Amino acid sequence: MSGSLPPDAGRSLGEQLGDAIANVSDGSIELGQLMEQFGDEGLLLVTALMVLVFLVPVSIPGVSTVFGGAILLIGISRLSGRPVWLPRRLRERPLPGDKVRAALGAGLKWVHRFERISRPHRLHWLVERRGWRTTGNLAFTSAALLLMAPLGFVPFSNTLPGIALLFYAIGFIQRDGGSVLIGHVAQLATIAYFILLAAGGGAAFQAVQDWLG
C-alpha cells in the first residue's frame, strides 16, 4: 500500500473505500500502513474500511482484536480531541493481505446498499451539537469494545457491532443523524444479543451442573 487517500467530499464513501481496497497488496499488510494511507483526517474512512471484514461470513483469526483495538483508539481520540495513537505491537501486527482484501471487497457491496439509506445533513444536529456528538462518540467507542469481544466463533457477534460502527462512520462523515440513529439501533441489538448469549451460556452451565450433581 502506498500513497495517500484523504477523504474526498466530491466522491461517495463507496468509491473512496474501493480505491483503498485496490491499494491493498496480496502479501502481508500492517495496520500502521492502513492508517498512514488515510492520515488523521480520514480515520472514519479507516473505520468504515476495517468493519467491512465483519459484514460477511469470513473468519480471519485475530482480525477482530486488531481492528477492534484500532477503532477503540479512534473512538478515544474523538472523545479526547487528541490525535490517535497506536501502540507499536498493534501498528505492526501483520495480517494476510489476500484474505483481508477479499473480505473487504465482499463487504464493500454492503456499503453501497447502506449508502442508499444515508442522506447528507439529515438531522445534522445529532452529529453537530456538542452533547449529541459526545453521545455518538461514546456509542462508537463502546461498539468497538463489543467488536473486540472474543466471540468470533459465535454467529453475528462481530457482524452486529460492525454494522453499528459502519453506520456511525457514515453518519459522522456525511453529518447524517439518521445514519447515527440506525447505528444506535444496531448497537442496542448488539447489547441485547450479547445478553441473550450470556443468559443462554449461564443456563447451559447450570443444566450441566444439575446433570452432574
Domain boundaries, given as residue ranges, for the chain: 13-212
pLDDT of residue 1: 41
What Rg, from alpha-carbon coordinates, does the chain have? Answer: 18
96 strand-pairing partners = 28
Angle of helix 97-115 relative to helix 43-51, nearest 10 degrees, comes to: 100
Q: What is the residue-level pLDDT of the chain in tens, covering all 213 positions? A: 434 444 455 567 777 777 777 777 667 777 777 677 666 557 888 788 788 888 766 556 667 778 888 899 899 988 888 877 778 877 777 777 777 777 777 777 777 777 778 788 888 888 888 889 999 999 999 999 988 876 656 777 788 899 999 999 989 988 899 999 999 999 999 999 888 887 876 666 666 666 766
pLDDT of residue 182: 94
186 touches 163 (CB < 8 A): yes
Q: Please enumerate, as own/partner, the contacts of 135-140 that have beta carbons within 8 Å and a separation of 24 or more.
A: 136/168, 136/171, 136/172, 136/180, 136/183, 137/75, 137/78, 137/79, 138/79, 139/164, 139/168, 139/183, 139/184, 139/187, 140/71, 140/75, 140/78, 140/165, 140/168, 140/172, 140/183
- The structure's pTM equals 0.76
pLDDT of residue 153: 63
pLDDT of residue 4: 41
Quote the cell numbers at residue 185. 439501533
Distance of CA 121 to the CA centre of its chain: 22
pLDDT of residue 208: 67
Nearest-angstrom CA–CA distance, 83 and 57 = 33
pLDDT of residue 57: 60
pLDDT of residue 83: 76
Phi, psi (5° rounding) for residue 103?
-65, -40
Neighbours of 113 (CB within 10 A): 10
